[in-house]
Chains A and B, each alone.
Chain A
Amino acid sequence: MYRIEEIIIVWFSDLLKKIRGRDLIIAIPYVWVFLFFICPCLILIKISFSDAILASPPYTSILDWLSGTTLQLRLNLGNYLTLFTDEMYIKGFVTSIFIAGTSTLCCLLIGFPMAYAIARSSEKFRTILLMLVVLPFWTSFLIRVYSWIVLLSPAGIINNILLNFNLIRAPLSLMNNSYAACIGIIYAYLPFMILPLYSAIEKIDNSLTEAAYDLGCTPLKAFFAIIVPLSMPGIYAGSALVFVPAIGEFVIPELLGGSQTLTIGRLVWNEFFGNMSWPTAAALSIVLLLFIVFPMVIAQKRKDESSFAMEA
């Protein structure tokens, strides 16, 4: 008859003998992401179905033991229902999609000519030109947003210049609206658009456009008939890379958008820090994740399709 500790020790040393180095290399990062990524997500889903109460932590448990043997699962769908009936949240979804969509489009319009110019410049300068695109990304994100406060605020540089040249009498309110939030997002995420576009355009064979010119194509027609279709994988990848972080963005709308521009990210923050309503914040987060998964699936599908078409 072994004592329980001995059984555990024997079992554990057996386990240790069985573990190979390979398993350990899998296990260590796996345990980490399980504990600190998968578990938090499950908890988030759980809390999104519970009731808010005044306690610490401020939500009810969704599993209850009734009379010892019955386990009761209570899912409160009310949190999700509120999100799709309350005008404030619906407006938040619309604002987020509007801001993310506009910024993605503008990034594409600014980024495409830049990526094209870099890809067509001499090989010697390409690395430097790309470094110049990436360098602002390495400077602090907050400072890049702050630079637009310096430019756009009522006491900021643009208003000062306009006032000094007597073009306006009173400062314009350039900040604290959804367009300022768009500018901030375009500025912060432009490199993410340029880099995939560049790598797509760089691969296009120059002789294709030359052939088109020889056959009598105008430069503009050649651009839309050859360059644009062939850079589609880059367009989809870049758009996803801008749209996805833009839709969940908190800092930029908070600092540049003013109190009216309530995006989903800000609503989550306000529900949590302002209203102390954990279940609503959790439900909002889950809906936000759905908003992100959807465009990513589309981008992936389109990317697969176009790369398939290219191979064919």
Chain B
Amino acid sequence: MKIHWTKFFLFLGYMFLYIPLLCIVVYSFNDSRYLSTWTGFSLRWYKALISNQIILQATWTSLKVASISATVSVILGTMAAIVFTRFGFFKGKSLFIGAVTSPLVMPEVVMGLSLLMLFVGLEKFFGWPNGLGSTTVIIAHITLTLSYVTMVVQSRLQNVDKSIEEAALDLGASPLKVFFVITLPMIAPSIILGWLLAFALSLDDVVIASFVAGPGSTTLPMVIFSSLRFGISPEVNALATILMTTLSIGVIIMAIIIYKKNLQNGAKNETIHYSIGK
């Protein structure tokens, strides 16, 4: 009897998680502008979306910002994760750990505000960054996503057997070679996952971008956010459906790839730990 109750709760929970999203998908195909009437299946909102120059421009900006910041973030984050797990004590290590991990809990408003104040101050004293734009958004997103990437890569590095690296070092390989030949292949799944997480976070951020974006660098979430203030819009339904489908398919494919790879390595539970992300 008890098992039935827990299953019932689980079913309700999944209904709660998925029904709101399903509603958007269904109504994105509604011909009517209003939710009150279903006037028939149509793709007109998708067509309207494709011809919307503002949204296309913002999508391009967002993809550019997200891919650049995810790439830089993965490089810096891997370095930080190595410092966390492989390097012993050095002066200022605790400050470093604190500064890398704090953005995880920092409210976005505070982060956006403080970064904007920094950029204004820098511009006043050094004449750089010469107005807000994509560069400032990229810098802000790297700082935001760095902590997530570091956490993901670090949790993998902790599970990798150190003795393999040590053996290679004993046999005379240089530390750099050990990293590229031994460590990197072992932590590759977590690096890919960190990149995806950073990409998704950057593609999702509206608050920090609103603070540090300039006139020419409006990102897609900023466009969606400003149209949401006016309530329900069928075009946003269509856009949301496209975004959800692409992201879910991407994540599912990635999960399957990592799951299979881990099965080969005999560590199957790690997929879940990675996908926890935030």
**Chain A residues in the interface with B (C-beta under 8 A):** 21-22, 25-26, 28-30, 32-34, 36-41, 43-44, 47, 57, 110-111, 113-114, 116-118, 120-121, 127, 129-151, 153, 155-157, 160, 163, 187, 190, 192, 195, 219, 244-245, 247-251, 255, 265, 268-269, 272, 278, 281-282, 285, 288-289, 292, 296
Contacts and interface: CB of A to CB of B under 8 A. Distances in A.
Contact of A129 (B10, B96, B268): B10
Nearest to B14: A132
B99 A131 contact: no
Given A33-B146, A187-B16, A140 B221 contact: yes
Interface of B: 2-3, 6-7, 9-10, 13-14, 16-18, 20-21, 23-24, 27, 34-36, 76-77, 79-80, 82-83, 87, 90, 92, 95-96, 99-100, 102-103, 105-111, 113-115, 117-118, 120-121, 124, 139-140, 142-143, 146, 175-176, 200, 203-204, 206-207, 211, 221, 224-225, 228-229, 231-232, 236-237, 240, 243-244, 247-248, 251-252, 255, 259, 268, 271-272, 275-278
Given A138-B200, A248-B108, 6 more contacts: A22-B87, A30-B92, A44-B117, A140-B247, A142-B221, A157-B35
Nearest to B236: A146
Given A113-B13, A219-B2, A245 B103 contact: no
Contact of A131 (B121, B255, B277): B255
A250 B20 contact: no
B24 A248 contact: no
The 10 closest A-B CB pairs, nearest first, are A248-B107, A147-B20, A40-B114, A113-B9, A117-B6, A117-B10, A33-B99, A114-B13, A143-B240, A40-B118
Question: Chain B interface secondary structure, helix, strand, loop or mixed?
Answer: helix
Contacts of A272: 113, 211
A148 B20 contact: yes
A155 B35 contact: yes
A292 B14 CA distance: 30
Contact of B107 (A30, A144, A292): A292
Contacts of B118: 36, 39-40, 43
A285 B106 CA distance: 10
Contacts of A149: 228, 231-232
Contact of B36 (A28, A114, A155): A155
B110 A44 contact: yes
Contact of A43 (B3, B82, B114): B114
Contacts of B211: 272
Contacts of B142: 32, 36
Contact of A187 (B14, B20, B272, B277): B20
Contacts of A148: 20
Contact of B275 (A22, A111, A134, A249): A134
Nearest to A37: B99
Contacts of A144: 20-21
A146 B204 CA distance: 13
Given A135-B248, A251-B207, A285 B113 contact: yes
Most buried by A among B20, B92, B139, B243: B20
19 contacts: A26-B83, A28-B76, A32-B146, A33-B100, A37-B100, A37-B103, A118-B10, A131-B272, A133-B17, A139-B248, A141-B204, A142-B225, A147-B23, A195-B276, A248-B109, A272-B113, A285-B107, A289-B110, A296-B105
Contact of B206 (A39, A110, A137, A251): A251
Contact of A285 (B105, B110, B247): B110
A32 B277 contact: no
B27 to A, nearest CB: 7
Nearest to B272: A130
A113 B6 contact: yes
A147 B113 contact: no
A103 to B, nearest CB: 14
Given A26-B90, A43-B117, A113 B244 contact: no
A139 B108 CA distance: 19
Nearest to A295: B105
B275 to A, nearest CB: 5
Contacts of A25: 79, 82-83, 87
A168 B158 CA distance: 58
